[in-house]
Every structure is written in structure tokens, then in C-alpha cells.
Amino acid sequence: MSAQRPVIGVFDSGVGGLTVLRELMQRVPQADYLYFGDTARLPYGSKSVETVAKYAIGAARYLQGHGAEYLVVACNTASALALDAIAKGVNIEVLGVIDPGAQAAAAVSRAKKAVVIATEGTVGSHAYQRALARHGIQAEEKACPLFVPLVEEGWTEHEVTERVAHIYLDAQFAGEFADADTLVLGCTHYPLLKPLLRRVVPEKVAIVDSAEATAGVVAAKFGAAAAGSPSVRFFATDSVEKFRRAGEKFLGRRIEGVEHVEIE
């Protein structure tokens, strides 16, 4: 790895992974970044394990070929279904978002019970449930398919979104899981809903953001932050203008110079 500024590749099926990149840039500003959004082929959640692995490995190799020395798989679905295959497909270190999220939940949960919200694909894989079980945490998983389009519409504080959140979550923190004290955000879109979710879930519940947790793991690896500002190159497999417009909501800053790429 570079003795100067390490180059970290970040891969996602779309723009949601920019929430992970945002946290990485804040926690590890001494690195430079390459971000690949496979926007032409999303969503990954409805695709087979084999297809997700094929797409993700292609993107990982593309990032490695453009100088990435370390890879963060920001996509929860790819992390859940294909992390081992991705790691075998490149010769750089690979980190997914699920294990860091599970570790963070284990660190804050005293009840040893957590609710995980994610897309249907991630919930169907039970990857968070298994990861949390390894830390002694019993998990209840809930697919929240409406959250992604609501976030992309910009309705992060809309009364409709709050009502949907209550419909999804009120029953989760009841019955057997009434004493659950942790909510794990298992989708890269969901950090934009944190203020709303804080109002919806019980006050005792800690909200664990897998994007923040992942950035914390990377920060621990690369050590104390150095002065300077990270550079970022953006790659998208669909419209670069659409990526730029949507992506700025997730990154929280202006996006310039998105490069269009085609990979098989």
C-alpha cells in the first residue's frame, strides 16, 4: 500500500453507498477514494447470488485496476451475498458493511436483542442475523422496501415516511422484542432517515449506522487522521448526470466529474 496516501475503493450498486464514502472521508481524510456505482444494473436485491457476485467482482476488479489498494463493499446486498467471492476475485483487502455493523451493535446492546432493518434481499440472506448471533445478539429482521424510494424522492422528513416507519417498526419493538435496545440500519439509504427514526423508535433504543461503523473499522486500520483533503473519482455505469443529482443528497456535498464506464 502507498507510503503516502492510500487509495480506497468504495463499491455500491447505486448512490446509497455514498453515505459510507461520506463517513470514510470524515474519518479517514488521509486517503484518496474511488467510488463505483453500478447504477445501470441496480437493484441487486432481486438478483441471484451468482449474478450479484459477477457484477460485484467486475466492479472490484475495475477499482483495483484504477489504483484501489483497499476495497470497501458499501452495498449491503453484495456484502451479504458475495463478500467471499469478491475477496477471492481481487488481490487487495476487502471489507463489507455487515460485520462492522454487527460489532457496533454488540458494543452498545445490553439487552442482547436488536432489530435490523434492511432491503428484502439483505433480510432474505439473514447475513445480519448470523453476524449478530456470532456476537451473542438475538436479532429480529424487518424488510422496509418503501424506505429506499422515499429517501430517493427526498422525503426524509415527510409525514408519509414517518407513518410508514411506524407501520414497519412499531410491531418490531413489541412482544418478544419489546426489550430490544438496538436498531441496526442495514441499508446505505437509511442513514438519511436517522432523525426521523429517532422519533419513531423507543427512546431507549440505540441506532447503529453500518456506514459509521464501517468507517470506524477503516479508521482503526489506517491510524490517526492526517491533515489534508481527500480526492475522489466517481464512476457510474448509467447516466452520470442522474448519478450526480441523486448522489449529492447522500454525500452531502457537490459531486463533480462523474465518469461513465461500461463493464461486462
Distance of CA 117 to the CA centre of its chain: 12
Amino acid code (one letter) for 6? P
Quick one: CA torsion of 232, 10, 260, 77, rounded to 10 degrees?
A: -150
* Residue 17 and residue 42 in contact, taking contact as beta carbons nearer than 8 Å: no
- Give the count of alpha carbons within 13 A of 101, CB side only: 34
pLDDT tens, 143-192?
999 999 999 999 999 999 999 999 999 999 999 999 999 999 999 999 99
Grid coordinates of 242:
442522474
Domains delineated in the chain? 7-96+213-260 (3.40.50.1860), 99-210 (3.40.50.1860)
Grid coordinates of 180:
430490544
144 is catalytic: no
146 class by beta-carbon count within 10 Å (0-12 exposed, 13-18 middle, 19+ buried): middle
Q: Going residue by residue through the chain (264 aa), what tens digit of pLDDT does each one get?
A: 445 899 999 999 999 999 999 999 999 999 999 999 999 998 898 889 999 999 999 999 999 999 999 999 999 999 999 999 999 999 999 999 999 999 999 999 999 999 999 999 899 999 999 999 999 999 999 999 999 999 999 999 999 999 999 999 999 999 999 999 999 999 999 999 999 999 999 999 999 999 999 999 999 999 866 666 899 999 999 999 999 999 999 999 999 999 999 987
* Residue 155 and residue 189 in contact, taking contact as beta carbons nearer than 8 Å: no
Q: Which of 8, 25, 59, 75 is catalytic?
A: 75
What pLDDT shows up at residue 225? 63
**Overall pTM > 0.85:** yes
* Residue 172 and residue 202 in contact, taking contact as beta carbons nearer than 8 Å: no
pLDDT tens, 105-118?
999 999 999 999 99
Q: Which of 131, 187, 192, 207 is catalytic?
A: 187
Which residues face 9 on adjacent strands? 34, 71
Q: Cell 467482482 belongs to which residue?
A: 57
* Residue 44 and residue 77 in contact, taking contact as beta carbons nearer than 8 Å: yes
What pLDDT shows up at residue 4? 80
